[in-house]
Structure 1
Amino acid sequence: MTDAQRPNILILADDLSGAAETAALFLDRDVTLGIDIGAVHGDSDVRVIDLGTRAKSGPEAADRVHTAVRDLPPQVRVIKKIDSMLRGNIAAEVESLLGTGPIVFAAGLPALGRTVENGVPHIDGVPLDRSGRWALETTEAPASIADLFGHVRTISVALEDGIDGLTAAVDSGAVAVFDVRSDADLDAIVDLSALLPGVRLVGTAALAAAVARTLRPNELGTLPIEPVPTLVVVGTAEAVAAQQVSELERSGATHVRIHVDHLLAGTDPTPVRNAVDGGAAILTVTGPVDPARSNAIATALAELVALAISDKTVGLVLTGGETARRVLDALGVNTLHPITEIHHGAVVSRTAAGGYVATRPGSFGGPDSLVAMTAYLRGVESTPSFSNSEALA
C-alpha cells in the first residue's frame, strides 16, 4: 500500500475511555494507530482525539470540535464518536460540524442492545428515557433523536431511500438520521455515506467499527508486555463498579478508600504507594458525591495518583473517561498507542515513555473486568474474562 492509498481517518471522542474503546476497533486493521489527548500530536493513519468535551459546556464543546476540523484537508475522513447512551454535548458538537460538511447520524450500538427504531433510542428494547440509565445525569434522557437535537434540524433517512434520499436530506442543511437495528445496518450506512464527498459520520463506537471493517486486515498478533505492579483507579459512580472492585479484592488486591472530603482537602499518598508496592492496589472514593463537585473530585483524585506513583513504574487501570483524562493530564501524557483489548472497551495502551495504561468506560464489563485487566498488566494467570458486554447498572 502506497502512502497515497493509506487511510486518513480522524475520530473525535468526548472522553478518554471512549477514545480508547474506538481506537481498539482498528487494532486488527493494517493501519498505524494513535490516541491523542486534546489535539493531534501524531501522524497515524487513524488518529483518535480525546477532546475532553463530555464535561464541558455546550459552547466549549462546540468550539473544540470546530477547532479540530476547521483546517483539515478534504481527504481526511472525519468520525465524531458519541456516547452509546447519548450523554454529553452531542447537539452542540454536531451543530459545529454542520458548517464543515454533510452530517450522517447513526447512534446505535447493537452488540450492547442500543438501537434506534423510528427515531427513538432504545436499550434492550426499552426506550432510553424509560430505561433508568440516566439516573446519574443532571438532565433527562431524550425521548427521541429529534428531542436530542432540539433546534438543530434533522431528517430521517431510510437505507432504501438510497443516495438520492440521503443527498436530498443533507442538501437541505439538516442532519441525516438513520435508524440502527443491527451491525449490518451500520455497514450499509457507511457504504452509502461514502458516496457523499466530505461527509462527517456521527455515531457510537459501532459506527467506527463499520468503518474499520472496510479496511484491510492485519494478521500480526499482540506481543507480550513486561509485567508491572498495578494501580486501579475507580472514578465512576456506576453501581456495577462495586462488584468489580469486590472481585478484585477477592483476588488479592489491596483496597485503599479515600473519603471525598479528605480527598478534596489534600491527602497523604503514602497508603496508596504502600498498596502499589504489594503488586496490585485499588483506589476508590467514598462518601456522598455531589455532582456539582465532580470536576474538583476528578482533579484531586488525579493529583493524588500522580503523587503516589511519581517515581514508580506502575501499570494504571483507569475506569471512567473523565478520571482517565485527568490522571493522564496530571502525569503529562498526551499520546497513547493501543496494543490490545482485554474485553469490549477495556483497552491497554503504551505511553511514549514505555508505561502501560488500561482504560475502560465506567459502566462496561462484567464482574471479572478489573481482575482481567489487572492480571494482564501484572503478567499473571486469571480466569478468562467473559466481560464482552456492558453490564446493566
Structure 2
Amino acid sequence: MPHLALIADDLSGALDSAAPFSGAGKVVVASHPSALGRALRVHPDVVAVSTRSREVSPDEALARVRSVLLQMPTGTRLFKKIDSRLKGNIAAELTAFEVAPLLVAPAIPEFGRVVVDGRLTGFGVAHPIRVASVLGDHATRARIPDVQSDQDILAAIAALAPDEVLVGARGLAHALRASMPGAAPDIASLPGPLCFAVGSADPITLAQMDALRRHHPGLQVIEAPSGTVPDGIRTDAPVTLVQIVPGAGTARDEVARRFAKGVARIVSDRGTLLVSGGATAEAVLDALGIDVLTIEGEVLPGLPCCRVGHRRIISKSGGFGAEDTFVRLLNMTRLQESTDHD
C-alpha cells in the first residue's frame, strides 16, 4: 500500500502537492477518482488523486472525497490538500474524515504565504483570512499553528499524532518530505517544442504571460475566445502560448472542454506542454487520453513535471510562481532539439 495518499480538489493541486515527494519512491497521480484504482495497481509509494470538486456543490464534493477514501488501503497516511488561498469546499470535504484530528497548515512560506495569529496572509491573498472560519465546525478538532517559516511547519509535523490528518498545501507537503530519505531529482532542461496552455485568469499568471511576451518577440500567441482555438494554427512553432480569453457567454466547464480539444489538436506528441489552471489541466489531460501520471520531479518550485511518452507535462496553479516563471521555463527548453527522441 502507499505510505501516503494526497486528496486534492483539482488536478494542479494533486500534482503540486505530490511533486515534492519525488525521489522518495514512486509518485503517481490519478486525474479523477475513477482512475485511482489504476494508479494503485502500479504500487506507488505516494499516490495523489484529484476529486475535481473545487467548483461543484458541497454535497457533491463530500461524496467524491468519501468515494476516494473508500478506495484507499487501510493504514495509509492521509493528506487533504487544500488551496493555499482557502478556496473551494474545504469544510464539506473535511466531513469525510469524520472525527479524526486535523493538522491544518495552508501556508507556503517560500512563496510568501503565511499564517499569523490564525489568519492566512501574504502573497496573492487580498485580505487576511481567519483559517478557523473556513473550517466551520471542524475547527474544534483542528490544530492550526502559526506558520511564518519552514521551521514552523517542521515543528508542527514533529508533533503529528498517528491518527492526525494532514490538511494543507505545498508547504506542508514539502515539510513532510523533509523527513523522508532520498534526494529530489534535478530536472535541468526540457525538450522542445514548448507550448503554454493557459486557462487561468489569475493576475499572477497574467503577469507571467506578459513577461514571456516581452522576453520572446517570436512567440506564437493564440487567443481562444470562450475556449475556441481557431483553425489554421502552425503546429511546428518552437514556442506557442494559447490562452483562453473572454468571448460569448458559455458555461465554464464547456469553455475548458472546448479549449482542451483545441490544445490537443495543435500540441506536439513530444516536447513540453505546460498547463495552467486546475480545471484546464483536467480537461486537457482528458482530451489527450491521460488519467494516470508518474511525477519525475519539480522543474521549478511548485511546478511538477511528468513524463508521458516523449512529452513532458508541467502543471502550474494559477496563483503560483514569480513573474519570470514562464521565461525561466523557456530558457530551460532545448528549442533546437524539437525532434529529440529522449
Is the structural similarity TM-score above 0.5? Answer: yes
1:277 matches 2:236? yes
Q: Is the 8 A contact 2:102 2:165 kept in 1?
A: yes
**What corresponds to 1:333 in structure 2?**
290
Aligned to 2:305: 348
- Post-superposition Cα deviations, 1:309-368, rounded to whole Å, max 9, x if no partner, equal 4x74352111111111110011110122222323222222112x3421111111222332
Aligned to 2:26: 32
| Secondary structure of residue in 1 paired with 2:182 | coil
Contact 2:189–2:333, Cα closer than 8 Å, also in 1: no
1:8 to 3, 18, 30: 3
* 1:380 positional shift: 6.4
Correspondence for 1:240? 204
Code of the residue aligned with 2:59 in structure 1: it is: P
Give the structure 1 partner of residue 314 of structure 2. 358
Deviation at 1:85, TM superposition (A): 0.5
- The amino acid across from 1:8 in the alignment is H
Aligned residue in 1 for 2:143? 176
One-letter amino acid of the structure 2 residue matched with residue 16 of structure 1: L
Find the aligned partners of 1:77 and 1:216 in 2 and give their Cα distance: 17
Q: Is the CA contact 1:342–1:372 (under 8 Å) kept in the aligned structure 2? A: no
1:21 to 10, 16, 38: 16
CA-CA distance at 1:96 after TM superposition: 1.4
Q: What letter corresponds to residue 208 of structure 1 in structure 2?
A: A
Write the distance in 2 (CA, Å) between the matches of 1:145 and 1:240.
23
Question: How far off its partner does 1:179 sit?
Answer: 2.7
After superposition, the CA RMSD in angstroms is: 2.7
Name the aligned partner's letter for residue 240 of structure 1: I
Which AA in structure 2 matches 1:341? E
Q: Which amino acid aligns with 2:219?
A: A
Distance 1:380 1:109, change over 3 A: farther
The question of 1:368 aligning with 2:335 is answered no
Q: Percent identity?
A: 27
Match of 1:316 in 2: 273
Distance (Å, rounded) in 2 between the aligned partners of 1:362 and 1:72: 29
Distance 1:380 1:365 in 2: 26
- Rate the CA distance shift 1:210–1:380 in 2: closer, same or farther, 3 A: farther
Deviation at 1:8, TM superposition (A): 0.8
CA distance in 2, matches of 1:234, 1:198: 39
Q: Per-residue deviation at 1:11?
A: 0.8
How many Å apart are 1:199 and its aligned residue?
A: 2.3
Secondary structure, aligned partner of 1:34: strand
Match of 2:133 among 147, 155, 159: 147
Match of 1:205 among 166, 170, 173: 170
CA contact (8 A) 2:19 2:295 kept: yes
State the distance in 2 between where 1:54 and 1:91 align: 12
Alpha-carbon distance change, 299 to 95 in structure 1, aligned in 2, over 3 angstroms: same
1:93 counterpart residue number: 93
Q: Which runs of 4+ in 1 moved over 4 A?
A: 219-225
Tell me the equivalent position of 1:185.
Answer: 152
Is 1:107 matched up with 2:129? no
How far the C-alpha of 1:284 sits from its partner, in A, is 1.4
TM-aligned CA deviation for residue 95 of structure 1? 1.4
Is the alpha carbon distance of 1:179 and 1:98 closer, same or farther for their aligned partners in structure 2, counting shifts above 3 Å? Answer: farther
Question: Of the candidates 250, 259, 272, which is equivalent to residue 301 of structure 1?
Answer: 259
Which has more strand, going by share of residues? 2
2:231 and 2:78 mapped to 1: Cα distance? 42
Gaps of 5+ in 2: 338-342
Tell me if the contact between 1:82 and 1:205 (Cα under 8 Å) persists in the aligned partners. no
**Structure 1 match to 2:182:** 217
* Matched letter for residue 151 of structure 2: A
Q: Name structure 1 gaps, 5 residues minimum.
A: 132-142, 156-173, 382-393
Equivalence for 2:53: 53
Q: Is the 8 A contact 2:80 2:165 kept in 1?
A: yes
Larger radius of gyration: 1
Cα–Cα, structure 1 residues 204 and 58, in superposed 2: closer, same or farther, change >3 Å?
A: same
